[in-house]
Each structure stands twice: as structure tokens, then as C-alpha cells.
Structure 1
Amino acid sequence: MRALILVLDSVGIGAAPDAALYGDDGANTVGHIAEACALGDADNAHRQGPLHIPHLVELGLGEACHLASGCRPPGLKYRASTVSHFGCAIEQSRGKDTPSGHWEIAGVPVPFDWGYFPKTVPCFPRELTDALCEHGGLPGVLGNCHASGTEIIARLGSLHMQTGMPICYTSADSVFQIAAHEEVFGLDRLYALCQVARRLLDPFKIGRIIARPFVGSSSEDFTRTYNRRDFSVPPPEDTILDIAAADNRDIVSVGKIDDIFAHRATGRNKKGAGNDALLDCTLHGFEHLADGGLLFANFIDFDTIYGHRRDIAGYAAALEAFDTRLPELLARLKRDDLLVITADHGCDPTWRGTDHTREQVPILMSRARVTSRVGQRFGFADVAATVARHLELRPPRHGAPF
């Protein structure tokens, strides 16, 4: 008896009821991607035609989309499965940040407001950047604005290499990002600087400090690497990970789960360069997961590479690539194992800007003895409550099992 939670980062399925408060009324990550594919607007050298994700559809993704938005996206017509039940969930936490979504999935909604930076230039308080330079031994910082990560590295990367000043920027999320060249600035130095920033930014209630290392020699070939690291504040209450750890359960975390939960109760962490490698890590971790154990994985490419860059074709291809490999995991499930596939927010590649979108998320479950629907849930924390019941753990404070 084991449990797996797979978070398809940013795979939202329709605007949340309060999306208008965030400027996201009408956003629909999966729906708009499927529509673009059906129209041929997502064709490229790597993929063509309607969105083809039959295994996710068989688990009920199309029906989950219908529950969330009232329509089934093109190509996602449901085919009945004997091992699935499905639904959607509306986030209780405020904002549309990665930590909030993951913490709520793990049983801890975020009732408070994160701190954010204004859309001004400069956007960071002078006392903050002065302290960062003093404690980090820096001649200054570049950027100091809201920006797309790839755009600002292309624009300021060469100047950074010449001056030794790191590139500091933010977004609509509660985040302070530091980009630096892996070889010229140094990866360890970048991580150490982010630890300094973490201490300085705690009073500002900033959710994450993100190290954004890159390589290359000019704006034409600057490339962000998979040595990204998040420095998050810890969850304010016990998550399903804490509950499992307190009961001495085997825990495997895959991808940036370890960072998101501030390395608390995350067990054996496995990292990989991209979704394909992360799925390899998931398969290996699941193969060695003890009875009663929990595996928690994040698949980052959907969000970081395609959602934020508003790459519709790339996002569609990534969904199709994940779907192609999903049977490898499904074939390893035993009769008393529980698999939950969900998401933490949206990042609609057809939407304006480059930020996350406030959306409902799918809940797709696979377990041989279950055939009912989950329905529409108010709160991602129901996932943690369901996993706790399945693993016979004490329930988290929030959420109700399906």
C-alpha cells in the first residue's frame, strides 16, 4: 500500500471562480492549448494536429476540464476507464504561487497574503539591495525590475559577466530571483547569495528566493540550466509529508518538492534535468518505495519552459511526451497503490503577460478499487486528506477525503 502525488506544474483546467481578482478571468491552460492544436496553431517541427494525450484522457482529464469550465476541450473526449476517478479543485489559498499550491495539496492552505514588489523601476527597496550588496560582497545589482527570466538574461547577461553584478528581478509571484553565470560568477557563490537574500527577505514575507544559473557567452546562446534552486519559507503547519515522517514512513520527493517544502520531511530527494529525467526519477523512486510510503513529485517543464514563455506548441508537445510515458508508471501500480495526478496553478500560454494564471486544477486518480468521480472540490487539501486515509495516517487539519 503506497501513495504517489504527481504535480504537473501549471497544468490548470479553467479559471477559478475568483480569477477576475487576478486579471485571469477566462484563462484555461489545457483548454486553450487543445483549441490551438485543433486549429493547427500549435503545429511545429516536433508536433502536429489535435492534442493527443489518450492516457490522461482515459484517467478523466477531459471530464475534469468539463467540471471546471463547462466544456470538454477538443480531442479530450472521455473514454471510460475501470481504474480512474476524477474531478477538479478550487484553490483556497490566496495568490497563484507555487508554494501556496503545493502546500495546499499537502494539506496546508495559505490564509495570509504573501509580500510582492511593485511594478516600478527600481522595484526593490533601496535598503534591501544595499544590504544584499554589503552582506553578499557585491559591487551592485542589475535588473531591479519585473521581468521574464529569459528576456532579462539575454538583455543583461553580458553586462553581468563584465561587472560581476548579479541580475535581480521579480514577477507577479512572491519571489526574488537572482540570475548569474554558472562559470563566471560561480554556482556555489550564487547559492550562498540566495541564502543571504532569504534572511534579508523574511521580513518582507517573500515566498521564494530562486537561484537562476545560466551558461553561454552572449545573448545569442545564454541558456538557463537545471541547477536552479528555490529557497522557500517552511510551511506554517504540518503537511502530509510531516505527518508521514512522524509515523516513520518511507518518503521520496522528486524535483523541486524538496525546495518548496524547505527540505522539511522530504525524505530521499531525486532531481532530474527536465520532465523526462524526472519521470525516470519517479519510476526509480517508486520501485524502491517501501510499503506505506509516499512519493511526491513535481514536473517543472510545463511551467518554466513553456508556460512562462507562452510557447503553446512546446507546452502541447510536453503534455504529449508525458502522456506517452505515463503507462510505464501505471503498469507498476499494485492493486492497493494510490496515484493522484494534479497541478498547483495555471500558466496559460495563450494568456497575456508571462505570469501564472489563477485556475482550477485537475484531480486524476488511479486505484483498482475506485470507479467513482471526485467532483468539484473546494480546496486542494482534499488530496492530502485522501492520501492520509489511504495510508492510514492521522488526517491533516485541513481537507476532506474523497
Structure 2
Amino acid sequence: MSKRAIILVMDSFGIGATPDAASFGDTGADTIGHIAAARAARGNPLKMPNLEALGLGAAARHATGRLPAGFTRTSGFTGGFAAARERSLGKDTPSGHWELAGVPVEFEWGYFPKSVPSFPAELTNAIIAEAGLPGILGNCHASGTTIIADLGEEHVRTGKPIFYTSADSVLQIAAHEESFGLDRLYALCKIAYQHVQPYNIGRVIARPFVGAPGSYTRTGNRKDLAVPPPSKTLLNQVSDKGGKVIAIGKVGDIYAHQGVTQVVKATGHEALWEKTLTALDETGDGDLIFTNFVEFDQSFGHRRNIEGYAAALEEFDAALPAFVSRLREGDLVMISADHGCDPTWPGSDHTREHVPLIFFGPAAKPGDYGVRSSFADGGQTIAQHLGLSSLGAGKALF
């Protein structure tokens, strides 16, 4: 029988604070719980019938002790489900993704302080000199959309790119695609990536935008330059055995293209679903499709947009039946997340939460798999399904 695996990451879709959340200032964070509660309070309960049937609400109850508001199913689940805690030391995108693929991050990333300026002068001076810049703007912790609105006009006028960071181990550089140039922004980020290595920074992200003052918008041409995982992941295991690894959305960048055989870019969840369905037609035995649905995090979690997040969740849920109808015998699908980003939480950073591990498809074994001690249990389950060697961390659910 042909065996294939599909991973769908709902970026930032946490299901309740972990026991160590206090260390991150996130005690009580609950992305799904607070979104559902806000919806219920407005008389418009969150409706995710397909994921609820697979076990989403029950997984969230493992994390918090209660079902999210509006969720009622307590039995008859059609998927295998669990709540997973993160073993990695951070709550960032690479750590979460790498751990899902069997490589927890058990070292400390470097971070830039919240003081202004955030970046050391020797770092910015070196980048400015090598890139031939007239200077930089920002140099602080900021929301990406806010800092573009605040400094975009000055950037276009002066040619100075916008440098900013967050609670993640990251340097982000925003520039106007037309006045600054997309290729020039990518080249600048490559220079910056080399210069941040001594600081143990995980990623440099190009954040291009377009438009005019008052209506600047970020484009889908984001590019992440990431440190590669410290050891082989599930993706390497698949490709080393001759299988395809189709990385859709920002997945290829997150793994520094290690183990990836094809990168597929798309902007917006509708386009990401379309590319995922196309990949179902182009893959076969031993292959892995891996899609990241970034808008949950980028457009709604970080923006603290509760209703936008809720609507996106319902749209994702509504897209599942068409996806399921395209599955073949031997397919195993995992839906999970990489961290939380509670849109009701103070600030604009990620939140330390459990994530769901939900398995379905013809090769899944429905059931309640409890609380897991690592996201890596998800990747290990897929590795076992595909007949791969055991990953460096994790225990298969079934």
C-alpha cells in the first residue's frame, strides 16, 4: 500500500498555557479558548465542526481542563488527538517547527533587548557600511504593520530601510518593493544574516511592502533567512530515502531548505489550500507535503485581531472536507501548530501554549492520546507511518 504524509501547521494556534508558561509571562494564555469565549460573549459562537469532530475541543480540554466555549462533543471522535507541550526552550517559529519534525531546540537563542536602540552599534554600522546604506530607521521592538505605517514615508524619502525585532530571535528589515527594490532588500538581508551570526540570532526576515502613505501593505514576497536545524529532521529523513518533500508557504525558509525538494510559495490561506491540493495530485508513496498557514499568526495573532482570527479558523475548518475528499488510501494527515499567539494577550508576541496534535485520514488511528511531553511526538508518528528511522526525539502516538 502506498503511504504518504501531510502536515498542516496552523501557525500560532495554541490551545492553552503550558505548565512552564509563567517563565514566559504567559500564565493563562489560551488562543482558542479566549477566541471562543469572545465569540460566545457576542452571541456568535465559534463554529469549527470538522475539527471538533476530529478531537480539537477534547485536545484543548487536556490543556485547560475545559472545552472551549461553544464546543460540546465529548465522544465519537473521528481523529487521533492530543495536546502537546514544547520541549524547546523558546516559543518561536523555528523552535516549534523543528521540534514538530523531531529536533527540539534545547539551547538558548540570542535576543535583542527592548531598549532603544535594540541593535548594537557595531552590528548596524557593519551592515550599513557593507550594504552602502545612508542609515537605518526603527532600531527597536515593534509590530511590523505599525512600524511600516509610522516610518514608511520617511523610508521612501530617505532610502533608509526599517530595522526592527520582537521577542523572537530575529532581525526584520522592511523596505518598499518599488522605491528600494525587492532584490536589493534580499541582498541586504543576506548581508545582515552574516553579521548576526555572532549574536546567535535565529532568523533575518525580509519584509517588503508596497503602497503609499496611509495605505502601506506587506506583500507575499517575505523571505526568511534561517539558521539550519542542528541535526537531521523528519524532512531530511524523507528526502534521504528518495521521497519528495514539498514545502508550501514559509516552510522551506524555516528549515533553511534542509531536506526540502520543492518550495511552493503562496500568499493567503486560500492560495495555500490551493497549492496543497495541487501537491496531493503530484505526490505518491513515501512523500511528504508540509504547509504552513501563516495568516493566523502574522495577520491576526500578532495584530491582536480576535475576530479576524476567529473568521480565519472557521474558514480553515470549512476547507477541510474538500481536502479530505482528495486523500488516498495510506494517507496520514497531521494538523498542529508551532506555538500560541493569543490575540487577547497583552503585547504582540507569541504565547507559551500547548498545541494540538490531530491525526486523520485513511491511515490514522482515532483515539485520545492525552497530553504529550514534546511536539516531536507528531513527527515521530509520521516517521513511523512512512517507515523511516526513528527521529532524534519524540514517541509515536500509534
**What's the TM-score, normalizing by structure 2?**
0.97
**How much has 1:82 moved relative to structure 2?**
6.0
C-alpha distance in structure 1 between counterparts of 2:23 and 2:287, whole Å? 39
**How much has 1:290 moved relative to structure 2?**
1.5
Q: Which stretch shows the higher mean deviation, 363-372 or 14-23?
A: 363-372
- Give the alignment partner of residue 65 of structure 1, picking from 27, 37, 60: 60
Deviations 1:321-357 (A, max 9, x none): 1111111111122232100000000000000000000
Do the aligned residues in 2 keep the contact of 1:107 with 1:398 (CA within 8 Å)? yes
- Report the AA paired with residue 22 of structure 1: F
Are residues 1:396 and 2:391 paired? yes
The aligned runs of 1:382-393 (5 Å cut-off) are: 382-393=377-388
Deviations 1:363-388 (A, max 9, x none): 11103451222211000111111111
Q: Which stretch shows the higher mean deviation, 328-337 or 279-288?
A: 328-337
**How much has 1:392 moved relative to structure 2?**
0.4
Are residues 1:178 and 2:173 paired? yes
Q: Which residue of 2 aligns with 1:358?
A: 352
Q: Which residue of 1 aligns with 2:297?
A: 303
Q: Which residue of 2 aligns with 1:162?
A: 157
- Give the alignment partner of residue 93 of structure 1, picking from 85, 88, 91: 88
Q: 1:55 to 1:20 in 2, by over 3 A?
A: same
Are residues 1:137 and 2:137 paired? no
C-alpha distance in structure 2 between counterparts of 1:324 and 1:122, whole Å? 45
Could you list the runs of 5+ residues in structure 1 that have no partner in the other structure? 41-47
Are residues 1:322 and 2:316 paired? yes
Q: Which residue of 2 aligns with 1:5?
A: 7
Q: Which residue of 2 aligns with 1:221?
A: 215
Q: Which stretch shows the higher mean deviation, 289-298 or 165-174?
A: 289-298
Q: Which residue of 2 aligns with 1:241?
A: 235
SS at match of 1:252: strand
The aligned runs of 1:22-41 (5 Å cut-off) are: 22-40=24-42
Deviations 1:274-303 (A, max 9, x none): 111001111111221121111111000000
SS at match of 1:63: helix
- Report the AA paired with residue 298 of structure 1: N
- Report the AA paired with residue 342 of structure 1: S
Q: Which stretch shows the higher mean deviation, 331-340 or 199-208?
A: 331-340
C-alpha distance in structure 1 between counterparts of 2:258 and 2:231, whole Å? 11
**What's the TM-score, normalizing by structure 1?**
0.96
SS at match of 2:368: coil
Deviations 1:210-250 (A, max 9, x none): 101011110x1011111111110000000000111111112
Do the aligned residues in 1 keep the contact of 2:193 with 2:225 (CA within 8 Å)? yes
CA RMSD of aligned residues (A): 1.1
Dislocated runs of 4+, deviation >4 Å: 79-82
C-alpha distance in structure 2 between counterparts of 1:259 and 1:107, whole Å? 17
The aligned runs of 1:230-309 (5 Å cut-off) are: 230-309=224-303
**How much has 1:29 moved relative to structure 2?**
0.2
Do the aligned residues in 1 keep the contact of 2:236 with 2:258 (CA within 8 Å)? yes
**How much has 1:83 moved relative to structure 2?**
3.6
Deviations 1:105-155 (A, max 9, x none): 010000000000111111100000000101111010000001111111111
- Report the AA paired with residue 60 of structure 1: G
SS at match of 1:162: helix
**How much has 1:264 moved relative to structure 2?**
1.4
Do the aligned residues in 1 keep the contact of 2:81 with 2:359 (CA within 8 Å)? yes
Do the aligned residues in 2 keep the contact of 1:94 with 1:111 (CA within 8 Å)? yes
Do the aligned residues in 1 keep the contact of 2:54 with 2:77 (CA within 8 Å)? no
- Report the AA paired with residue 192 of structure 1: A
C-alpha distance in structure 2 between counterparts of 1:203 and 1:29, whole Å? 34
C-alpha distance in structure 1 between counterparts of 2:251 and 2:219, whole Å? 18
**How much has 1:76 moved relative to structure 2?**
1.9
Q: Which residue of 1 aligns with 2:147?
A: 152
Q: Which stretch shows the higher mean deviation, 75-84 or 302-311?
A: 75-84
Q: Which residue of 2 aligns with 1:195?
A: 190
SS at match of 1:7: strand
SS at match of 1:317: helix
SS at match of 1:176: strand
Identity of aligned residues (%): 54
C-alpha distance in structure 2 between counterparts of 1:81 and 1:99, whole Å? 35
- Report the AA paired with residue 116 of structure 1: Y
Do the aligned residues in 2 keep the contact of 1:58 with 1:79 (CA within 8 Å)? no
Do the aligned residues in 1 keep the contact of 2:29 with 2:353 (CA within 8 Å)? yes
Q: Which residue of 2 aligns with 1:348?
A: 342
Q: How many residues are aligned here?
A: 394
SS at match of 2:267: coil
SS at match of 1:143: strand
Do the aligned residues in 2 keep the contact of 1:67 with 1:376 (CA within 8 Å)? yes
